[in-house]
Structure 1
């Protein structure tokens, strides 16, 4: 079964609002087992909405339309769907009673314009609105279907899960599909997309021949590259077994580049590594100015393994608080000294430090984007690494954060694996 997504709203075309609904719906359709090969965005114009609907229905079996179901003059999705269906719009007293009850409960006057939301194409089925005022619609077009949902994300998501998913599953069952589709995302850092593709190429070739599971890449900027594995099977247990098998194969190929699964962040991966060893962390930040600490304290339970961060931006502060010796403060030696000082000053087991040049100008004979990360481990070992990061000032600082945390994660993991060998 093939279903397209059509987002309605001139504000989307003008870039005033991001089309987050399209991304969410694409993911949810895949999880149900529906193929979605196209997405469209169209402005508030009935003729163009009708054209987009007819184009989508010509290419597939259904359309999920978002937006244009409000009470104002430019909310014309209902009219466009009725035209495609060849049906009249009829006033639905039950929908109107629901809208009246919502306004009464809120103690607000009900504008006459809201009657538009009670107009339903003849032959369509209403999806009850539970969070707002605009009901959804399930509209048959011959053997095909148009689902109309509000553009407000939380309203759309609730309706889709409650009403659209069961309807899609019934249609899939009628086509003979009774299985499930499950996905798992391996999150990576420290490897380029091209290098990752080269490493994973043997698995992609093998899976292309088998047809199941499948692998796809998704670059996500400062959060690394995601490797999504999707499996189809007759049951959840069979799908999960396929995902487990493929995850193990990919981890063998990618090694330490994989830092987590699905929604796991780099800071969560670091927290898990510290927790496994019962260690606490202390930070010294210069170039990042507290950004690393901000991400770490977003992890629930951070107080158990995070001691704090010293933001030592000025050179004299590095010297006075951390004991950094005379010399360049954007250097490997300074980064190591900062890490040792943070470990000592904060009473931590592990010290992590960042110093660098975010730009736009260079400093201390170092070009913009140069960052040194220092590390002090419980056994007294110290180390540092130099990063050359691209982008403007903000991007360099953001990349510094995740790169430094990844350096810490890898060293802790190596130390743990080495000590257990």
Structure 2
């Protein structure tokens, strides 16, 4: 089945709202074996919505529309579908009763303009919306399906999972698309593509790369009658990926750098503390946001000046001779974190604090150190960014990846 997604709303085109609905729907359709070939956005204009629907009707079996089913004059999705199919909208008494009851339960009288939310065309069935006033439409005609749902995400999510998706599944032929994401750090996207070039040109499974804030994602997807069949197709490709990319792969699917580190620490019975300078506590924040770190991460220190670093146990002589932004300081910070919290592992992070003047050609410095039971590993890296927040984010990512790699080689450098 070929599908496309249309998101309606002028606010999307103005950039006031980010279209998260389309991405979520694409993620729901892929495991069903539905191929999404087009995703579009259109403003609240009936003529343009109809034009886009006509194009979609000519090339897709399933059209999923979000937004434009509210009660206002510029909510034109229902009218556009009716115009596309040459059918008339009519008020359904049962829907009108439900709609008026919704308002009565809230002690208010229904505005008469809301009556259009109780309409259907002959080819449409209603999709209930227990979380709002706008029911959806499930339209079937001439071998095509149109699903129209609210643009409000939480209303759309439930309507899709509870009502639209089961109806679509019942109409699908057997088959699934199964996908797994391999997350990579330490290599650029072009490097990864070059290294796995022979895998990228396959058709089933398919392999693709794309850059994200937390590294390069390598997506492996296979289409088969069952998940088990897709797994069998993917297995040799994924084995080859692991062989080529090695420990540059830090996680699969929802696994993050923090969860990878936590798993490694837990497997060795180790505990962790951090001492940060230029990242301002971001590493600690990302660690404590994750699940599964209770009893593993015991605490963190943040200090950006030599005076405050001394307060946390850094030798004044080290700071006087090498400065707070140095490898010597980072090593001392890792050990000081261990000493302060009584952990087996300490992570020290020090480096450039301002984005101004940093670039790929002229990166700022990043000093990373990990102390694992008195075995200290150190790495000098470079970071750049256009804002201080971007600089801190990249430094925190590099720090956690260094911790992961240090744990893998048992902290000996």
Q: What TM-score bracket applies, with the shorter chain setting the length? A: over 0.9
CA shift in 2, pair 1:349/1:128, >3 Å: same
* CA–CA separation in structure 2 for the residues paired with 1:109 and 1:292: 52
Per the alignment, do residues 375 and 110 of structure 1 end up closer, same or farther by CA in structure 2, a change over 3 Å counting?
same
Give me the whole-angstrom Cα distance separating, in 2, the residues matched to 1:310 and 1:108: 55
Q: Which residues in structure 2 correspond to 1:19-418 (within 5 Å)?
A: 19-173=19-173, 178-205=174-201, 208=202, 211-220=203-212, 222-324=213-315, 325=318, 326-327=320-321, 328-361=323-356, 369-378=364-373, 380-391=374-385, 392-415=387-410
TM-score with structure 1 setting the length: 0.91
Per-residue displacement from partner, 1:96-129 (whole Å, max 9, x unpaired)?
A: 2222333333444422222121121232111111
Q: Note the C-alpha offset of 1:406.
A: 0.5
**CA offsets per residue over residues 297-321 of structure 1, 9 Å max, x none?**
1122423111111111211111231
* CA-atom RMSD in angstroms: 1.9
Partner SS, residue 148 of structure 2: strand
Count of aligned residue pairs for this structure pair: 404
Q: What is the alpha-carbon distance in structure 2 between the residues aligned to residue 362 and residue 44 of structure 1?
A: 44
The one-character-per-residue Cα deviations of 1:3-52 (angstroms, maximum 9, x if unpaired) are 11111100000000001111111222222111221111111011000000
Provide runs of 4+ in structure 1 moved above 4 Å.
Answer: none
Matched residues in 1 for 2:353 and 2:249: separation? 27
Note closer, same or farther for the CA distance 1:187–1:361 as it changes in structure 2 (3 Å cut).
closer
- Per the normalisation by structure 2, the TM-score is 0.93
Contact 2:262 2:292 in 1 (8 A): no
Q: Distance in 2 between matches of 1:299 and 1:249?
A: 30
Comparing 106-115 with 327-336, greater Cα deviation is found at: 106-115
**Native 8 Å contact 2:100 2:109 kept in 1:** no
Contact 1:358 1:394 in 2 (8 A): no
Unaligned runs of 5+ in 2: none
